[in-house]
Amino acid sequence: MQSTDFYQRNIFKKESPFDSIQEECGILGLFSDENVDTFSLSQFGLFALQHRGQEACGITVMKDGKMINIKEEGLVLDVFRSIENPEEFMGNGVIGHTRYTTAGDKKKFNFQPFFAKNEYDQIILSIAHNGNLINAKELKEEMEKEGVVFRATSDSEVILRLIQKNLDLGLRAAISATMLKIQGAFSVVGMTRNKFFAFRDFNGIRPLLIGRLPEGGIVCASESVALDAVGATYERDVLPGEIIFTNSREPGYQTFQVEAPSKQRLCSFEYIYFSRPDTSLEKISVHHIREKSGEKIWEQAPVEADLVIGVPDSGVPAAIGFSRVSGIPFRQALIKNRYIARSFIVPSQEMRERVVNLKLNPIVEEIRGKRVVIIDDSIVRGTTSRRLVKILRECGVKEIHFRSVSPPIIAPCFLGIDTPRKDDLISANMNTEQLREYLGVESLAFLSLENLAEILGSTNHCFGCFTGKYPVSPNSEEEIF
């Protein structure tokens, strides 16, 4: 059992051993035979992916055989507003990126899209990457010995430099060679001066979908909401190990399957927390999965209560599902401040204590004196759940029954989700009964891994944070089940 010190040490701490490389991001790329308003379309698409990263954003546009890039710190609309000459960003191709960074690595040279230039200072290659490589350090050292110069500290630059290094082989071969060298999670969109491409790692860990633009041309994006935002129709998900490429001379797009064992292992946490509820990944609706998880946790851990509330945003569909099968009324008793995009900078402990209600505030009349089931998508460090319990107790709630609709998170993610080191993962340090006591609640339950797999319809997902076994990892090639 961890002491209160454990909590004191870890509250508000947001760091990970992978600070310099770990990212959750949103990517988008679109390409058309004709010039289209790539400025507006990328703005719409990236805005729909804002939840995947609020630190910075950027685009590279292809126009008349030339590429132009802009990337800045800030939210999508602020960055686009800072562009004084939108017409220069209207061409026939664009790639874009919304960046989420963990602490300590916000330097502009790590913003994306990355690009490589020729000796005439012209951009010849640009990429945007979502995911995390596990052998970036070795590959970087190898290439540095060969004289390749790196400008950033991000693993994504390794992908750029590898493709660049192999470009003489032709684009398809350069990408294939790169895919076979890099290991980990990578969904990538990119462009040369006349071609657009997209590819996905051999386990399809981070999402990537293809859609068709109404004016002709294709779009690739991290989530279907970005296709909706640009008015595209969903066609399919990019397959694990697949390269998509297109240029303005040939209609449609070509596809190439790089030969390496490919399995579908989409990150299950995309459904649990990360993706927007109105997104579908691999034809499965995120909202549907969240509702189902609420239904399942009721079957798994029923309880007598007066009402059920969900922690906004991702806990709410689960609470609705729980309510539907249990008959316990759902109440929207926790209100989230919509304008929270980033964490507060709060230097003193005294002020940190006051942050509690800024993000989530209760409607006291709804819950005072009641037996409440509260559902959150996950418990990571335990900070949020501790705060929530404090808020509910202060409202005079009679009983608190906490439900997490993900299994206990016991292992850090190497593949692109920002989970902290093992020491800071509360379920890696306490069992459910210890955690129940630590949180000070009447009951606590986590969705089981078996039930999560059942809801997802298969075990073809990455469950690494719940099992410590990853489709690819520095130390293990173990299977999940």
Active site residues: 25
Residue with smaller CB distance to ligand AMP, 52 or 292: 52
Instruction: Measure the CA–CA gap between 22 and 337, rounded to whole angstroms.
Output: 27
Residue with smaller CB distance to ligand AMP, 177 or 356: 356
Question: Which residues ranging from 106 to 145 are in contact with ligand AMP (CB under 6 A)?
Answer: none
Give the count of residues interacting with ligand AMP (CB under 6 A).
16
Of 54, 156, 178, 314, the one binding ligand AMP by CB under 6 A: 314
Could you tell me the smallest distance in angstroms from the CB atom of residue 426 to ligand AMP?
Answer: 7
Report if residue 200 touches ligand AMP, rule: CB under 6 A: no
Residue with smaller CB distance to ligand AMP, 174 or 445: 445
Report if residue 377 touches ligand AMP, rule: CB under 6 A: yes
Report if residue 164 touches ligand AMP, rule: CB under 6 A: no
Question: Which residues ranging from 228 to 287 are in contact with ligand AMP (CB under 6 A)?
Answer: 273
Report if residue 376 touches ligand AMP, rule: CB under 6 A: yes
Instruction: Measure the CA–CA gap between 221 and 229, rounded to whole angstroms.
Output: 11
Could you tell me the smallest distance in angstroms from the CB atom of residue 60 to ligand AMP?
Answer: 27
Residue with smaller CB distance to ligand AMP, 140 or 381: 381
Of 232, 380, 452, 455, the one binding ligand AMP by CB under 6 A: 380
Question: Which residues ranging from 387 to 446 are in contact with ligand AMP (CB under 6 A)?
Answer: 417-419
Could you tell me the smallest distance in angstroms from the CB atom of residue 315 to ligand AMP?
Answer: 7
Could you tell me the smallest distance in angstroms from the CB atom of residue 337 to ligand AMP?
Answer: 14
Report if residue 223 touches ligand AMP, rule: CB under 6 A: no
Residue with smaller CB distance to ligand AMP, 262 or 383: 383
Place of tokens 């089931």: 373
Of 40, 255, 262, 384, the one binding ligand AMP by CB under 6 A: 384
Of 262, 383, 443, 459, the one binding ligand AMP by CB under 6 A: 383
Report if residue 293 touches ligand AMP, rule: CB under 6 A: no
* Interhelix angle 171-181/156-166, nearest 10 degrees: 140
Place of tokens 């005294």: 350
Of 382, 416, 464, 471, the one binding ligand AMP by CB under 6 A: 382
Q: Are 197 and 189 in contact (CB under 8 A)?
A: yes
Residue 225: which of 293, 287, 317 has the closest Cα?
287
Could you tell me the smallest distance in angstroms from the CB atom of residue 142 to ligand AMP?
Answer: 31
Stretch of 55-63, 105-113, 249-257, 375-383 lying at the interface with ligand AMP (CB under 6 A):
375-383
Residue with smaller CB distance to ligand AMP, 157 or 424: 424
Report if residue 185 touches ligand AMP, rule: CB under 6 A: no
Please give the torsion angle defined by the CA atoms of residues 462, 155, 171 and 125, in that order, rounded to the nearest 10 degrees: 130
Report if residue 361 touches ligand AMP, rule: CB under 6 A: no
Report if residue 23 touches ligand AMP, rule: CB under 6 A: no
Stretch of 139-147, 174-182, 379-387, 466-474 lying at the interface with ligand AMP (CB under 6 A):
379-387
Residue with smaller CB distance to ligand AMP, 242 or 377: 377
Residue with smaller CB distance to ligand AMP, 192 or 275: 275
Report if residue 43 touches ligand AMP, rule: CB under 6 A: no
Contacting positions for ligand AMP (CB under 6 A)? 273, 311, 314, 376-385, 417-419
